[in-house]
Amino acid sequence: MSDLNRLTIAAARDLLKKRAVTSRELTEACLAAIDGAGALNAFAHHTPDLARERAAAADARLAKGEAPAMCGIPVGIKDLFCTKGVPSQAASNILSGFRPEYESTVSQQLADAGSVMLGKLNMDEFAMGSSNETSVYGPAVNPWKVDDRKLTPGGSSGGSAAAVAADLCLGATGTDTGGSIRQPAAFTGITGIKPTYGRCSRWGIVAFASSLDQAGPMTKDVRDAAIMLTAMSGHDPKDSTSANLAVPDFEAALTGDIRGKVIGIPREYCMDGMPEEIEALWQNGAQMLRDAGATIRDISLPHTKYALPAYYVVAPAEASSNLARYDGVRYGLRAKLGPGDGVTEMYEKTRAEGFGREVQRRVMIGTYVLSAGFYDAYYNRARKVRALIKRDFEMVFADGVDAILTPATPSAAFGLGSMADADPIAMYLNDVFTVTVNLAGLPGVSVPAGLDAQGLPLGLQLIGKPWEEGDLLNHAYVLERAAGFVAKPAKWW
Amino acid sequence: MSINTETARKVAHLARIAVKEEDLRALAGELSAVLAFMEQLNEVDVTGVEPMTSVTPMRLPRRADVVTDGNIQSQILANAPDAREGFFAVPKVVE
């Protein structure tokens, strides 16, 4: 069978169970695809030997008839996840050479479920970015292309998005602090879900902003997202914010029936200067859900406008604290010191050399808003606004809304380098539709819903109630089937 | 609020990031632009609102105060840029 790397997780799983293909064959197909896709710069670290070892183990399990959900499925892991003995450097120079002595809970769960890790995926440094351009490895490249320009796959999970869209793996892990799963998923025509805060353990994932970070799957369709999310989820005593709740079979929730459900359309998400295509896509999406028997209701989330500024206080504040651990002592880089340099010079030179520009900027912003005299004016105020943003959602859900439909991004993928001279705020605006969800801790999913006039994918976002990822994915499944998005990027790499 | 070079220098030092003297001006400008963006938050009436402390309404779990791991010195030191005789090594701290 050819093109095994193009299979969905669900299709591969069924073939593996029938013994019609082996994990070895699937894995070799993906490794060959990765070897031929250097131009996409999606994989930063390759682990073919480990992959072959895990594929052999998966085939042995399958032969014995014990096949957990992800058994034998080749996946990519974002570089933010610590993987034992394998470089895990969050796309930062400051973690160069770091090989963890331990495995993150999520990647361990995926391994226990039989999946095969192909390597580590490119991303923005410490997950801070929306275009993958802050990566120490250089940017991952979007497999979608409409002219001579190389386009961004989005960020921060840009390598994950590029790898899944280009069929280099069957699925990939991402993480999402302000939109880092959903925005790249939308830019590359794939599905990505950020689950409820606390659904997936954060243990072993390099921390950016601990009250916002969540891991989630990035896959070729909604069913695959449900399968992979089930394997990634669950209570972990090693993460004090991990929810002690049973994990439902999310795939079983995909009934395709949303009759009688109420879909909210938040009027504040209609932004000035929003491209007509995005507006039209949004209206089409609402019509598709209406045609499926749902009721469409106009709703208001009045504090939406303040989500981005609140986020850009809270996230850098938490980052400045989390990134204090990179001091040149315990792991990673230590700068070359001059004669007479003491501990302070070691810290300052190491962090100046090790952190890229955007990371330095955010660490300093965070330091400033937490410093004496500004804590109340910035940090506490932002946390109060965050409480109001969360309350907006709670009131809408209490009013009977089952899911909220919004655009995923304010534009399609843009050219790499095209934002080089823009101020940082222009880049931050990429997260305008996604960031509210992180502040409120809610689940959100991006589903590919169409192409723009240039022929680039556009996504719609559905936002659900806490812990109702199954119901949310079912809405996404209905939208996916109605939109019928099947386009794939033409291979140029 | 606008940040001057003096404040930028202070913030860089608090963050333990070396910034060249000639780069402080540009840094001050960048930080000021981001802070100006945050000023929008002053439009919101937050009277009587408690700052959000936990994302989901759950009690922080507790466990018995006992040692649950240890004896992994070599693993702890495995990634250190400079480890000697079972310790992390750093430049001289005390004269």
Chain A hits for B19, CB-CB cut-off 8 Å, are 352
Chain A residue with minimal CA distance to B49? A384
Active-site amino acid positions of A: 78, 156, 180
Cis amide leading into A156 (omega within 30): yes
Q: If you write DSSP's letter for every residue of A39-55 in order, what string do you get?
A: GGT-EEEE-HHHHHHHH
Q: ipTM, 2 decimals?
A: 0.96
Residue A328 contacts by C-beta under 8 Å, 6 or more apart in sequence? A334, A335, A346, A347, A350, A351, A354, B81
CB contact under 8 A, B16 and A348: yes
Q: Is the minimum CB–CB distance between B91 and chain A shorter than 8 Å?
A: yes
The vertex-B28 CA angle with B24 and B32, nearest 5°, equals: 170
Using CB atoms, pick whichever of A306, A329, A423 lies closest to residue B41: A306
The model carries a pTM of 0.97
Answer whether residue B94 shows pLDDT above 80.
no
Q: Which stretches does DSSP call E strand in A295-392?
A: 295-299
Q: Please give the helix or strand (H or E) that residue B75 lies within, else none.
A: helix B73-77
Per-residue pLDDT, A116: 98
User: How far is residue A137's CA from residue A320's CA, in Å, rounded to a whole number?
Assistant: 23
Please report, in tens digits, the pLDDT of each residue of chain A (493 residues total).
569 999 999 999 999 999 999 999 999 999 999 999 999 999 999 999 999 999 999 999 999 998 898 999 999 999 999 999 999 999 999 999 999 999 999 999 999 999 999 999 999 999 999 999 999 999 999 999 999 999 999 999 999 999 999 999 999 999 999 999 999 999 999 999 999 999 999 999 999 999 999 999 999 999 999 999 999 999 999 999 999 999 999 999 999 999 999 999 999 999 888 889 999 999 999 999 999 999 999 999 999 999 999 999 999 999 999 999 999 999 999 999 999 999 999 999 999 999 999 999 999 999 999 998 899 999 999 999 999 999 999 999 999 999 999 999 999 999 999 998 888 888 888 899 999 999 999 999 999 999 999 999 999 999 999 999 999 999 999 999 999 999 999 999 9
Q: Phi-psi region for residue A388, left (φ > 0), alpha (ψ -120 to 50) or beta? A: alpha
What token pair was written down for A69? 């959900």
Is A178 strand, coil or helix? Answer: coil
CATH number of the CATH domain containing A199: 3.90.1300.10
- Per the domain annotation, does A308 fall within a domain? no
User: How far is residue B35's CA from residue B57's CA, in Å, rounded to a whole number?
Assistant: 30
Chain A residue with minimal CA distance to B54? A211
User: How far is residue A406's CA from residue A412's CA, in Å, rounded to a whole number?
Assistant: 15
Is B83 strand, coil or helix? Answer: strand
What token pair was written down for B80? 């250190």
Number of H helices, E strands in chain B: 3, 2
Is B7 strand, coil or helix? Answer: helix
Per-residue pLDDT, A66: 84
Domain with A244 in it: 4-258+477-483
Q: Is the minimum CB–CB distance between B12 and chain A shorter than 8 Å?
A: yes
Chain A hits for B44, CB-CB cut-off 8 Å, are 303, 306, 381, 384-385, 388
> What is the distance of C-alpha B21 from the center of its chain?
22
- Per the domain annotation, does A192 fall within a domain? yes
User: How far is residue A455's CA from residue A477's CA, in Å, rounded to a whole number?
Assistant: 23
Q: Closest Cα of chain B to A343: distance in Å?
A: 6
User: How far is residue B27's CA from residue B36's CA, in Å, rounded to a whole number?
Assistant: 14
User: How far is residue A76's CA from residue A486's CA, in Å, rounded to a whole number?
Assistant: 22
User: How far is residue A466's CA from residue A245's CA, in Å, rounded to a whole number?
Assistant: 12
Per-residue pLDDT, A372: 87
- Per the domain annotation, does A407 fall within a domain? no
Chain A hits for B46, CB-CB cut-off 8 Å, are 381, 384-385, 388
Q: Angle between the B5-14 and A357-370 helix axes, to the nearest 10 degrees?
A: 100
Give the phi and the psi of residue A400 in degrees, each rounded to 5: 105, 5
The answer to whether residues A443 and A463 touch, using CB atoms and an 8 Å cutoff, is: yes
Q: Closest Cα of chain A to B65: distance in Å?
A: 14
Residue B1 contacts by C-beta under 8 Å, 6 or more apart in sequence? B32, B35, B39
Is A456 strand, coil or helix? Answer: coil
Per-residue pLDDT, A2: 66
Q: If you write DSSP's letter for every residue of A256-313 in order, what string do you get?
A: ---TT-EEEEEGGGS-TT--HHHHHHHHHHHHHHHHTTPEEEEE--TTGGGHHHHHHH
Domains: count for chain A:
1
Q: If you write DSSP's letter for every residue of A118-146 in order, what string do you get?
A: EEEE--SGGG--SSSTT-TT-----S--S
Express each pLDDT in B61-77 by its tens digit: 888 999 998 999 999 99
The one-letter code for the residue type at A131 is S
What token pair was written down for B39? 């000023």
Chain A hits for B79, CB-CB cut-off 8 Å, are 97-101, 330-332
The answer to whether residues A404 and A445 touch, using CB atoms and an 8 Å cutoff, is: no
Q: Closest Cα of chain A to B27: distance in Å?
A: 8
Q: Is the minimum CB–CB distance between B67 and chain A shorter than 8 Å?
A: no
Residues 28-47 of B with CB under 8 A from A: 30-31, 33-35, 37-44, 46
Per-residue pLDDT, A422: 85
The one-letter code for the residue type at A457 is P
Number of H helices, E strands in chain A: 15, 11
Beta partners for residue A262, in sequence order: A295
From the list A49, A126, A41, the residue with the least C-alpha distance to A80 is: A126
The one-letter code for the residue type at A212 is L
User: How far is residue A484's CA from residue A478's CA, in Å, rounded to a whole number?
Assistant: 10
Per-residue pLDDT, A190: 98
Answer whether residue B38 shows pLDDT above 90.
yes
Residue B94 contacts by C-beta under 8 Å, 6 or more apart in sequence? none
pLDDT band at B57 (very low <50, low <70, confident <90, very high): confident
The answer to whether residues A239 and A214 touch, using CB atoms and an 8 Å cutoff, is: no
Beta partners for residue A192, in sequence order: A218, A446
The answer to whether residues A113 and A68 touch, using CB atoms and an 8 Å cutoff, is: yes
Residue B35 contacts by C-beta under 8 Å, 6 or more apart in sequence? A365, A368, A378, B1, B2, B3
The two beta strands, A262-266 and A295-299, are: parallel
For the segment B47-58, the average pLDDT, to the nearest whole number, is 90
CB contact under 8 A, A384 and B79: no
Cβ neighbours around A488 below 10 Å, total: 15
Task: Identify the residue among A306, A341, A367, A393 best suited for mutation to test binding to B, counting B beta carbons within 10 A and taking the highest.
Answer: A367
Cβ neighbours around B65 below 10 Å, total: 5
Using CB atoms, pick whichever of A101, A345, A386 lies closest to residue B75: A101
